[in-house]
Chains A and B, each alone.
Chain A
Amino acid sequence: MYMRRLLLQITLLVGVLFGGAPWGACAQEVEHDVAEPTAEEKLDVVGLIFDHINDSYSWHIATIDGHHVEIPLLCIVRSEEGRWYAFSAAKVAHGHSYEGFYVAPEGEKWEGKLVAVGSDGELYRPLDLSFTKNAAGLMINSLLLVAIILGVAGWYRRRNYDVHAVPRGFVGAVEMLTMSIEDDIIRPSVGKDYKRYSPYLLTAFYFIFVNNLMGLVPAFPGGANTTGNIAVTLVMALATMFAVNVFGNKEYWKEILWPDVPVWMKFPIPLMPVIELFGVISKPFALTVRLFANILAGHTVILALTCLVFISVSMGTTMNIVMTIFSVLLSVFMLVLEILVAYIQAYVFTMLSSVFVGLSRKEHHAAHKPKK
């Protein structure tokens, strides 16, 4: 028992060296196990992973000696009667209820969400605009992003927009990244009036990139699974859909409603227009799911690999040591890979958005239109 504890401390130390939040969550479970050896030895890995990748009302930072260190966030809900309530998440923590609102327990409907019992005795989900962990993460990441980009822009302003001032270091790196996106993706994909779309597409790229990277930081300001949440990616994809369809020109709509195919394919049964219209909807759907699924999968794999350490505790000391080394090596590999994926997914989202925008801005009908 003593040996096992020592081993745990070592693995925890390794965990701490590589970060905090997800490991902290693991630690909580393990301490629980050690404290009650009679309880089930098996670690609830799935629950642990879902705790991380799902949104929550408070931001769990670490568990030290069974004590949860977490930031309760603001819950904002509207009850059935149309009244708005705003309260700290601490009021509804650990199964407590506040003004009839409580977090639905595990295994029940709307698990982990705020629910209330209506006047008819039925459980209902109130209109919930709570400032959740992901919302807070989005705000922090947004502030960081705005600070970085405005800081870089300020670098030029401080030099009076002098052409001879060439940035180095961090400012130079941001400039290089920005220009590589604009020159390699936006300009070739969008075409002539790319300058009009460039600010939106660059914002999309940086927003995703910063959120992806911050999601990989295990310690407090990072670690929120923002781009791995479907609501976040849905908003981004809808923004692209908006840019494509609102500013699409006549040629674009003609391609959809009256494409250049034999007449029998569009009249009397509008076969092609239906397929094309389906494409209009499927494009943002693909954008949404691709980004969300990639980031979610990355987080899940990293967490699962990390939990290997704690799962293998029950397999004996030797096995635990071997699995710990294996887990740390693989976790490092996965984190490095996820940094690459963070860039690639931001790149792919921006590239597809650029291509869709480019298709909606085509000047005249090309004989062989490129299939995307």
Chain B
Amino acid sequence: MSLLTPDLGLLFWMLLSFLLVFGALAKFGFPIITGMVDKRRAHISEALLEADKARLKLESVEEDARRMMDEATRRSQELTATAVEESNRIVESARQRADEEVAQRMEAARNQIEIEKERALGELRTTVALLSVEVAEKVVRTSLADDKAALGLVERFVDEAEGEMGHSGK
């Protein structure tokens, strides 16, 4: 049966065409295709590795940045707190100083007033004494002939008055 017996002529042509195809494809065909795919695979895995590395690096950089941001925020909060405290302190101390100043001024003013008052009182007393003397002189001149007796009288009166004043003053 010719179906099952290989024909010599066809064997020859088959061998020829298969060898030609094999020669052409094994040299110029498949190695290029598979080589390119292998090259691309290597390139892709390399790129993936690099991307992974870059991602890790980016993550660490981000971490750093976040830490730095946190630090900065903390520092600024600290600084703000310190500044507020400081300003409060300054205001407080200024107020204290102002109070002290005021108190001092008041004290000084009071002293001055006291002194002025003393002086004014002295003056007033002298003036009053002189006026009294004059008044008394005039009164006495008219009623008393004797100066000496009159003066003694006046002095007594004045002392009495002074004593009254001292009582009421203290």
Contact = CB atoms under 8 A, between A and B. Distances in A.
B13 A163 contact: no
A134 B29 contact: no
A220 to B, nearest CB: 18
A31 B73 CA distance: 99
B9 to A, nearest CB: 5
Contacts of A202: 25, 30, 34
Interface string A175-213: 100110010000000000001001110110011000000
Contact of A55 (B7, B32, B40, B43): B7
A188 to B, nearest CB: 15
A301 to B, nearest CB: 15
A83 interface: no
A325 interface: no
Contacts of B39: 161, 163
A181 to B, nearest CB: 10
A127 B9 CA distance: 8
Nearest to A157: B32
Given A150-B24, A232-B10, A239-B18, A178 B5 contact: no
A178 B10 contact: no
B17 A142 contact: yes
A166 B39 CA distance: 12
B111 to A, nearest CB: 98
Contacts of A166: 40
Contacts of B122: none
B20 interface: yes
Interface string A253-288: 000000000000000000000000000000000000
Contact of B32 (A110, A153, A232): A153
Nearest to B29: A149
A236 B18 contact: yes
A138 B7 CA distance: 14
A262 B10 CA distance: 46
Interface in B5-34: 5-15, 17-18, 20-22, 24-26, 28-34
A153 B30 CA distance: 8
Contacts of A324: none
A347 B78 CA distance: 75
Give the interface residue-count category, chain A. 35 or more
Contact of A152 (B5, B8, B24, B33): B33
Contacts, number: 132
A200 B22 contact: yes
A145 interface: yes
Greatest chain B CB density within 10 A among A135, A231, A239, A296 is at A231
A195 B39 CA distance: 14
Contact of A146 (B6, B8, B24): B24
Contact of A129 (B4, B8, B30): B8
Interface centre among B8, B31, B37 (most CB of A within 10 A): B37
A54 to B, nearest CB: 7
Contacts of B13: 129, 131-132, 134-135, 138-139
A308 interface: no
Contacts of B22: 199-200, 203, 239
Contacts of B7: 55, 113, 128, 132, 229, 231
A184 B83 CA distance: 73
A130 interface: yes
Contacts of A70: none
A175 B33 contact: yes
Contacts of B12: 129
A111 interface: yes
Interface in A204-239: 206-207, 229-232, 234-236, 239
B21 A135 contact: no
Given A54-B3, A153-B29, A157-B32, A128 B37 contact: no
A152 B25 CA distance: 11
18 contacts: A127-B8, A129-B8, A131-B13, A135-B13, A142-B17, A152-B29, A152-B33, A156-B33, A161-B39, A163-B39, A178-B37, A199-B26, A229-B7, A230-B4, A232-B14, A234-B11, A236-B18, A239-B22
Interface of B: 2-15, 17-18, 20-22, 24-26, 28-34, 36-37, 39-40, 43
Interface of A: 53-55, 76, 110-113, 127-132, 134-135, 138-139, 142, 145-146, 149-150, 152-153, 156-157, 161, 163, 166, 174-175, 178-179, 182, 195, 198-200, 202-203, 206-207, 229-232, 234-236, 239, 296
Task: Kindly list the 5 A-B residue pairs having the minimum CB-CB distance in the complex, ordered from nearest.
Answer: A199-B26, A135-B13, A231-B6, A149-B29, A231-B10
Given A139-B17, A175-B37, A230-B5, 5 more contacts: A53-B3, A128-B9, A139-B13, A142-B20, A150-B24
